[in-house]
Structures are given as structure tokens and as C-alpha cells.
Chains A and B, each alone.
Chain A
């Protein structure tokens, strides 16, 4: 048809002229709506991060948002249109987390080094400001004049301000000590009006001046020994004296009572000449110290090797046992002569359907030495320490993990077996290969091609299978010959958890925990990389 050719050409030309990004069809409208939603969410996130002052997050989010708009509205960047979501999530959930862990591993973040230096100073000053012995509580009013705040109190006696009779009103600011004012009124408790000053309501204090009022200190007199009054709730005030003074220019803390000067050291603590330190510190960078501690601290190095060996054994044996059992069952249920295969297969999935948290807890109850189902019912009241004997505990951990893990292997092996080519099997039979030979030379290699990556990921998962260990044995039974709270079934990740005090049995040390986590990450990464390299060789059988 000669007439249609130019039309086709026109359509072709149009198609070449416009890119997807400029094709104003229904697809573009959908994209516009989606991008509008993403931008709205992004702007909301930007506002939230800006308001909470998390500038790192703010810039990261801004970069991601700008990149998203560029990728989806530009003519170019076609591959990025497909991989941008994945890349964004990779950055946020993987790269950022690993990067932050690396950063923390080079600091002394943990108990006693929890925040910034400013926060430590604030906390120290607050903790060392004491109420003057025997001083009374004064009902106060917060008063304001030309933007300056002050306290107005009703004097109960002469001690609070110079020359005051009981019932007089005294006003002071941070500059001027409390002094008597005339013609002020009060309702017995609180001051109601002061000439020249406006009395603020509680609502005004809270909404407009909260921080100022909290930090306002009004000297009682010219003598600093008398202390200064401050309020913590905006209604009552007390006379306080601070025993620590912060010298901002010199960066030192001075203990007023003893005269000791504490200066900041490079460990994130205020230290005096004689080596005594104040109790609140802050986070500082400590270089490779955490890594050195992890490998050289004599208390950890002994158990570390034992735990590393057990971790590798546990992960390897878990994968091996679950795979072999799953494969065996898959082959059995793959036989067409078996009646009721569907029912059996459904039953096989059961352990996989129960959450691991729960299953491990239930098993720990069933394995209790005196009251557990296993000993009481199955073994007729035997008293076997399934979780209290070192080797039996390891066996129990492997057994429970086998029970939890074989259905997964059963599923993937069933799938892999059903996709094996039948003609190869036929050829093998014709060549006279027996059952064993067929399985060894054909089924197994072909099966491993598709399942090996899954076995490696299962290994990596079990290497860090914290849930099972924590819920089943808590790492116990404890080593009796080492001085750290670690046990025979602890794996590296549960060791990190208890060594770093995250379980509450030691001072928290996030720096050390992060350093150990990086070590675990390197070990798992190396083993996985080697494993994946090996799987490429498997594919050469095809």
C-alpha cells in the first residue's frame, strides 16, 4: 500500500523526535502525579530535617531529590530511570549505615561520652548547681521591661533583699541584685503588679520566654556567697549556688569550692592536674583504638578466637545440614509414585511459617532440663542439660536451626529439581548410569548451579543469626575460664552485643561495637566473595 508508507514515516519521525520525557500522553500525566507526590514528600522531609537541625540529612535528602527530578524529567539518563530507585535505597539503607558505623568505630561514643562538648558542659553545670542550704522557696512573678526579664518576689524576711520588710516586693535582673520597689501589689503569695514593669502570665512565659526564664539567674545580693535565685517551673524560685564555673575563653571548668581547674583533654573528658576527671564527657575521635582493643585486649582475644571458630562452624553446619535434609526430602517428594505429596509438602512448610523469634523461645522452653517437653515427655523424665552442657547446647542450637531452616532448602530444591531437563536424564539412563551415578554427575551439579548463590546468602544470614542465639541460649552456657561474660554458643554478633554493653551487662561502648561489627562485615564479605567466585566454576558443567 503506497498511501500508508508516508503515514508510517510521519509516525516514525514523530517517535524519533520526542523522547519519553516529553511525550505528553497519559503516561506523562501519571509520571507527573508520582513525581509531585515524591517532591511533596521530599520537601516535607527537608523541612523536618532543617527544623531539627540535622544538616547532614538535609543535604543528603536535597541531593537525592534534585537527582530524582533531573533523572525523570531529562531526555538523557535513560538507564538511571530504571536503576535510580534501587540506587537511592542502596545509598540510604546500605552505604549510609555502613559509613556511619565506620565513623562511630573511630570515636569513643558510649557511656560517659554520649553527646557533644556543649552538652557535657551544660549537664555538668546543671548537676553542680545546688540549692543554698536552708534557703526558702519564693513564689515569684516574671516581669519584663524593655525586653529585659527579671524576677519579682514577695520578701518574707530581710534575707532576700536589702532593707525589705516582710510583705515588701523586691525585683532584680541578671545584672542588678534584688532590690525593694515601692507601690507594687501582691495577693499574699505572688506579685500582681510592679510599677514600670509588666508582669507576664504563665502562658506568656511558656510560649515566648521559656529558655530565657530557665537560664535567668538573679543575684540575691552583691555577695556571690548568697547565691542567686532561679526558677525551674516559672512559679517558684530558690536560691542556688554553682560549685563549677565554665570559662568559655580558656575552655576550662573551675571547681569554686576547691579552686581545682579542669581542662579538656583529648579523651573527651575534663581533667585536672592530678588526673581526676569530671563525670560527664563527650564524643571525640580516637583513631584505631577500638580496633586495637578488639584484637589486643587480653580478656577478649582468647574467647574471640574460640567464638570465631564456632561462628564459622555454626554457619557452615547450619547451611550443610539444612541443605542436605531439604534436598533429601525434596527428592523423596519429587517421586511421582508417592501418594498425597501436596499434603506432605504443606506440612513441610510449617516450621518456615512460624516466626523465628517465637520458635526459638518455644524451643528453649521445650529443652529446659527439668520441665521441658523433650526431657519430660519424650525421654521419660530424663535430666539432660540440653542448654546447659557446652556441647549439647551447641547441638541444640544446630538442631533448632535445622528445624527452622530445612523447609526453605526444601522449597528451593523442589523448585530446582522440577526445572532439570529430562532429556539429560534420559541420555544418562541410555548410557547405563545407575541412580547414584545420575545423582552425583547430573542432578547435583545442575542443582548447585541454581542453588549455590542461595547457599552463600544462607551462610551469611546464619553467620549473623543473632535472633536464634539470643532467644535460645543467650550465648550460654558461660565460659568458666575467661573473665568476660561470653559463652559457648555465642557467635560474633552476639559477642558484639554483650561486649559493647548493649544488653545492659556492661557500660555501653558503641565505638567498640561498631569496630567489631566492621570486623564481622569484612569476614562475611570475604567469605561470600570467595563463595560467589567459586560458583562461577560450577556453571562450566553446562
Chain B
């Protein structure tokens, strides 16, 4: 009975090994048992898993090495695509397969808390060391849900050879560009689906913010982009599209390439585009107002989230609050990604660079990107409507805008 012997042996081996495993048996068990770590590898007890994307890989790895040296805790760094992190984090945390810490953007916060996958962190007195907007962005109901590390926003990038002076208004910018005789005037990346993120400062200059904002900068799910200011913005988009100043054919690649080739004096873009413009003389200025009010761009804050199902909450918190929140790490992250740091001391050191100082100055006028879950319903309609108005597909801009507002309202309800 050779088969019987083999089977018995296999079964016995299986049982013996699984008994060593000491599993917790129930994936849905939210309270981890203390002996949850695999018995065969005691060295790996309290090991952290951190998800990062390629631009943060180096500095986080250095911080992790310092952490391991000091506490003896192993840190496993997993590199992922930034675009995939949000969905994967939400899907994997409940299964117990997710990371302890992940990098992320603050506007995911509403969705992450709604799905119960992030845990609050307690910065204690360290909260005061960060820029106010960074802490505000990661705050929900008075609790901080992430460790901010970088603040980013768009601004007007100006080719100083073509336009020596910063324009005050949109019309000034167009006049300067017309005088310079370049092929394009003000490059704003649009695409056939629109790009409401890059158009937002122009929209706010008409006094049409997307949601109602509270005193402390948080948002209520009440749409404010309709009505008279919204109509003015829609009509203005149609005019500019008619005049050829804005076009849905300008994708981000085309815009960056044209600006790098000196085909336009102005580009509305973020610090992430600067790597394309090596060798140009550029200055970073406030975005010119098109509607008379301040052109306030969205401010995005990048940070690190802590998983609600982390089995290593203590170590993870220790790593976040006592290692990633240090000036050295924040500066290293800035040098790797080019985004101005969220820690005030590091940000001030980085502001020695006039480019960073320029983006910071514009960001000070900006508003945090809404992090309420309702924001997801806005993006789907917002950009496409803008694109239809600019390209002239929408015959009546104001009516198209009203239709958009009611569609968004329907999606939110």
C-alpha cells in the first residue's frame, strides 16, 4: 500500500507544519491574537510592510534602514504604481493582506475612512511642526489620519525670455503672448476629457468653487459650482475656445513639449513638469485671474496612511511619527520627488530655491482638494463638460453647465 503510506506521510507532514503555523484561523477576526506571528520565523516578528511608488523608494528605504538599525524591526518596502495604490489598499486591507503603511494623497481620505481601512494617528505636539494646510488636509472630524510629507499645487510657469513680466490677469497674459508672436499663448493641458484640476484656478477666479467650504477648510457635500458664477465661467470657456486660446487637442505631452520648445511663454502646471524644462529660464508666478477674483488652485498633500488592520500598529506608528516626520527624511523625500516638504523646517530650507518658493506662494492662496467621498462623482462629469464647451460641441455653454451640475447632483444622491 505505497499510496497509503505516501498519503499518510503527506497528511502528517501537513498537519505537523500547520500546527507550527499557529494561525488565527479567521480572516475576519479584527482583534489579532498576540501569538499571531509565524512561529518558524521569530526574527520577522513585528516586521513592517510599506507601500511606496518609485519616486519615494530611495528616501523611505533609507529611513527604513535607520529604523531597523535603531529598533531591530525589519521593514519590507514594496514598490507599487501610484495609480494602483488606492484601489489595492481598499481591497486588500480587509483581507489582512494589505500593508501596514502606504503612501497616498490626502484626497483619498474620505473614501478610505468610509471603507474603514485607515487608522487615525496621534502626532501629539509634532502637529505644530507641519504646515497648517498639510495637517488640515489629513484631518477629518478633528482627527489626523495620515502623516503629511509633501505639498503640491500648480502655478503659472513662465518662460522669462519670452515674457519678462508676470501677468496680472488672463487678458494680460494673452496680450503678452500675442506680442511675443509664439504659436501658443497660455498652455493648459486639456485633452478630449478635459482637465478640471488644471482649470480649477481659472474657475475659482469666477467665484465658482466646487463645494461649500467650512471655516476650517473642510468641505460640505453642497455643490457651489453652478449659478451665475458658473455660467460666467462656462461662457468664458466657450469664448476662449472660440478664440483658440484653449483647445481640447492640448494634452499634457503636447503642452509640455510645446513649452519646452519655447512655443509658448506661459504654462499652467505643477512641479512635476519641471524636469521637462531643463535649460529654460523659468519663473513660477501666481496664476492670472480670468474672472476678477483670486485664482486659487487645488492644493494636494501627499502623506503616509496607517492601515486599520495593521498587526504592527505600535511599530508602524513609531516609524511614522518618530522617523518619517524628521527633517532629514522630509528633505530627502523632497530631493527625490521635487515636491515641497510638509514639515515647516524642511519646507523653509527648500524655499531657498526660488522655484519652490514660487510654488509655495501660490499654494498659500490655494484650497485643499476636497477629500469627501462625493468628490469622486464630480470628476466624471466636470472635465468632459468643460471639454465640450471649449471645443464648441455644446452650443449653449450655460445650459451645458447646468446639465452638468444636475448630473453631478444626481450621481451624489
Contact = CB atoms under 8 A, between A and B. Distances in A.
Do A and B interact with each other, yes or no? yes
Interface in B347-402: 373, 376-377, 379-381, 384, 388, 391, 393-394, 400
Interface in A448-502: 474, 476-478, 480, 483-485, 498, 501-502
B380 A208 contact: no
Given A502-B87, A507-B377, A116 B94 contact: yes
A115 B7 CA distance: 38
Contact of B380 (A74, A121, A202, A505): A505
Contacts of B373: 111-112, 507
30 contacts: A39-B10, A46-B18, A50-B18, A52-B27, A65-B10, A69-B6, A114-B91, A115-B93, A115-B94, A115-B115, A116-B30, A116-B94, A118-B30, A119-B28, A126-B120, A203-B72, A207-B37, A207-B45, A211-B36, A213-B314, A234-B317, A236-B124, A279-B113, A279-B114, A388-B391, A476-B384, A478-B388, A480-B393, A484-B411, A485-B381
B46 A388 contact: no
Contact of A232 (B3, B32, B251, B317): B317
A359 to B, nearest CB: 17
Contacts of A209: 34
Nearest to B44: A207
B116 interface: yes
A112 B114 CA distance: 5
Contact of A485 (B18, B23, B71, B384): B384
Interface string A174-214: 00000000000000000000000000001101111111111
Nearest to B374: A507
A90 interface: no
A504 B382 CA distance: 13
B380 A498 contact: yes
Interface string B21-41: 101111111111110111000
Contacts of B23: 50-53
A370 B117 CA distance: 45
A253 interface: no
Contact of B125 (A115, A116, A137, A231): A137
Interface string B41-53: 0100110000000
Contacts of B111: 111, 507
A54 interface: yes
Contact of B116 (A114, A131, A211): A114
A115 B89 CA distance: 12
Given A111-B111, A477-B192, A51 B72 contact: no
Given A114-B90, A279-B113, A52 B97 contact: yes
B384 to A, nearest CB: 5
Nearest to A55: B25
Categorize the interface residue count of chain B.
35 or more
Interface string A36-51: 0001000100110011
B308 interface: yes
B31 A211 contact: yes
Contacts of A66: 7
A238 interface: yes
Given A73-B2, A504-B379, A123 B117 contact: yes
Contact of B376 (A65, A127, A131, A504): A504
Nearest to B320: A233
Contacts of B313: 210, 214, 232
Interface in B106-128: 111, 113-117, 119-122, 124-125
A233 B314 contact: yes
Contacts of A73: 2-3, 6
A493 B212 CA distance: 36
Nearest to A203: B72
Contacts of A299: 410
B142 interface: yes
B248 A123 contact: no
Interface of A: 22, 39, 43, 46-47, 50-55, 62, 65-66, 69-70, 73-74, 111-112, 114-116, 118-124, 126-131, 137, 202-203, 205-215, 231-236, 238, 279-280, 299, 368-371, 387-388, 474, 476-478, 480, 483-485, 498, 501-502, 504-508
A388 B91 CA distance: 35
Contact of A43 (B14, B24, B45, B400): B14
B143 interface: yes
Contact of B309 (A46, A119, A498): A119
Interface string B235-256: 0000000000001110100100
A210 B25 contact: no
A231 B254 CA distance: 51
A238 B144 CA distance: 14
A114 B94 contact: yes
Nearest to A501: B376
A215 B3 CA distance: 50
A280 B113 contact: yes
B217 interface: no
A127 to B, nearest CB: 6
